Amino acid sequence: MGSFKVAVIEGDGIGPEVCRAACEVLEKTGEIFGHEFEFNKALAGGIAIDETGECLPEATVNLCRASDSILLGAVGGPKWDDLSGEARPETALLGLREELGLYANLRPATIHMALKNACPLKEEIIGDGIDILIVRELTGGIYFGEKGWKGSKNGMKAYDVESYSEAEVKRIAIRAFDSAMNRQKRVVSVDKANVMESSRLWRRVVTEVSHDYPEVELTHMYVDNAAMQLIKDPRQFDVMVTSNIFGDILSDEASMITGSIGLLPSASLGEGNFGMYEPIHGSAPDIAGQNTANPIAAILSSAMMLRHSFGLIEEARCIENAVTKVLESGYRTYDIKDSYKIIKSEEGRESVSSMIMGCKEMGSLITNMI
């Protein structure tokens, strides 16, 4: 029995509708298992710019600090596209990560077998499924290094510094190895050690950390090769750990490979149990407010919250199982409407069925399955 304070940052576009579905699911899970969730809304992103002039108001950061975890929808949209750099809605994400010390980004890339045919890769490559966990460093590297402009003999010059300390690499490596212990016990560390000094330090520290995990197999892979291997044979991967910028690229590549962008959750973790949970999809302003979004990524993000921030493993599984059941029964949102369920009759005849529904209805259906 627990009582948990959740800061809810709905953000822009489809953010509000998918957050509502996720909160409904959390609420129901709480009822069943006897936990209480207190949801407090806060502004960030485009809506915060419109209402307060800042993409990440101090009040939001304060509320987050006073909470046990954050549920975030999505930020950004064409309305704010003309703003430059720092002023843009997405900067709120960088701010939250930095202010709250969310240094570990966990991005599962998995295929729900019911959605196998949404995967862009050929069947023989997918085989019986893909299940990768990308552990991306989130508060270091080129994102937060020194940057600027300088005059030079070739006109202006702009620079960004990628830099990693031993301590930064150590803590993210520990996260990766800890995760691997609960999985297939294989870690691939991705770097560019044939070119970058920071990668050489990365490789050395990850190797050192691996000595504390004798059961886990560690391999090193160059980032260009990793980008290829994800396509050639994604099943070779269990846990991948990498820097902020390489993780940005590879985790998005891996998500697309699953064909299920609308279903993938993520967790951004700091020291202790605190974490921010968000779908990996964007704010999809073109379909916002039309009740056609897919709430599953947000719902699965709330399951990650239960597991990682609150230690509620059974409750998390309950949500995940409800999602699987709903998908296996052929229910679909618009984004995955073509990934039909093929139903085999008793006589062996195959027919195709898919029941397409709105964001709200999908949310309620999953809630009821819990």
Judge contact between 254 and 148, C-beta under 8 A: no
* SS3 of residue 219 by DSSP: strand
Report in angstroms how near the CB of residue 244 gets to ligand IPM at its nearest.
7
Report in angstroms how near the CB of residue 208 gets to ligand IPM at its nearest.
25
Contacting positions for ligand IPM (CB under 6 A): 90, 93-94, 194-195, 224, 248
Question: Which residues, in sequence order, are CB contacts of 95 under 8 Å at separation 6+?
Answer: 55, 56, 61
Q: Which does 36 bind (CB under 5 to 8 A by kind): ligand IPM, its own copies, none?
A: none
Catalytic choice (5, 252, 325, 337): 252
Distance CA(334)–CA(37), nearest Å, equals 30
Distance CA(173)–CA(192), nearest Å, equals 16
**Single-letter code of the amino acid located at 47:** I
List the one residue out of 193, 181, 280, 304 whose CA is nearest residue 243: 193
Q: Is residue 224 annotated as part of the catalytic site, yes or no?
A: yes
Judge contact between 335 and 115, C-beta under 8 A: no
Report in angstroms how near the CB of residue 53 gets to ligand IPM at its nearest.
20
Contacting positions for its own copies (CB under 8 A): 84-85, 88, 90-91, 94, 120-122, 125, 142-143, 145, 147-149, 152, 154-168, 192-202, 223-225, 227-228, 230-232, 245-246, 248-253, 255-257, 261
Q: Are strands 104-110 and 131-137 parallel, antiparallel or unpaired?
A: antiparallel
Distance CA(270)–CA(267), nearest Å, equals 10
The residue among 254 and 366 lying less far from ligand IPM, judged by its C-beta, is 254
Q: Is residue 238 annotated as part of the catalytic site, yes or no?
A: no
Report in angstroms how near the CB of residue 266 gets to ligand IPM at its nearest.
8
Q: Which does 163 bind (CB under 5 to 8 A by kind): its own copies, ligand IPM, none?
A: its own copies
Catalytic choice (68, 238, 248, 335): 248
294 annotated binding-site participant: yes
How many CB atoms sit inside 10 A of residue 217's CB? 14
The residue among 21 and 280 lying less far from its own copies, judged by its C-beta, is 280
77 annotated binding-site participant: yes
The residue among 5 and 220 lying less far from ligand IPM, judged by its C-beta, is 220
Q: Is residue 143 annotated as part of the catalytic site, yes or no?
A: yes
Q: Which does 147 bind (CB under 5 to 8 A by kind): its own copies, ligand IPM, none?
A: its own copies
Residues 45-79: b if buried by 16+ CB within 10 A, e if exposed: bbbbbeeeebbbbeebbebbeebbbbbbbbbbbee
Judge contact between 149 and 157, C-beta under 8 A: yes
The residue among 30 and 247 lying less far from ligand IPM, judged by its C-beta, is 247
Please give the annotated binding residues for NAD(+), written as ranges: 77-90, 282-294
Please give the annotated binding residues for substrate, written as ranges: 97, 107, 136, 224
Residues carrying an active site annotation: 143, 192, 224, 248, 252
Please give the annotated binding residues, written as ranges: 77-90, 97, 107, 136, 224, 248, 252, 282-294
